[in-house]
């Protein structure tokens, strides 16, 4: 599922919708809770990369050759995106 989600595109849309007043989900000063992306193994980076072609192949292999539709609702305090 991660390969089917364009995180960069979503982030850009949220920034535009909020007039560049984007609030990070976690403050920069909050450190030590995870591993920096730069040290992830390439195989893991590939799994998190936006790759719609591979996502479609994996869905077809899992028995969903035509994919499926879902509604996603996000709530950022005063800002909701559906």
50 in a structural domain:
yes
pLDDT at 52: 92
pLDDT at 81: 56
27 in a structural domain:
no
Q: Which residue has the tokens 């849309």?
A: 13
pLDDT band with cut points at 50, 70 and 90 for residue 63: very high
DSSP 3-state assignment of 35?
coil
Greater pLDDT, 73 or 6: 6
7-43 tens-digit pLDDT = 888 777 766 655 555 555 556 677 777 788 889 999 9
Domain membership of residue 39 as a residue range: 2-18+35-81
pLDDT at 25: 59
61 in a structural domain:
yes
24 in a structural domain:
no
- End-to-end CA separation in angstroms for the chain: 18
75 in a structural domain:
yes
Number of independent structural domains in the chain = 1
76 in a structural domain:
yes
With 0.95 as the threshold, say if the pTM is over it.
Answer: no
pLDDT band with cut points at 50, 70 and 90 for residue 62: very high
26 in a structural domain:
no
């Amino acid at each position: 599922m991660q390969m089917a989600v364009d995180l960069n595109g979503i982030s850009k849309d949220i920034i535009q919708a909020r007039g560049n007043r984007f609030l990070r989900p976690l403050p920069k000063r909050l450190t030590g809770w995870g591993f920096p992306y730069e040290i992830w193994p390439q195989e893991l980076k590939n799994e998190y990369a936006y790759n719609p072609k591979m996502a479609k192949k994996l869905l077809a292999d899992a028995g969903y050759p035509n994919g499926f539709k879902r509604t996603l609702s996000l709530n950022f305090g005063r800002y909701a995106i559906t």
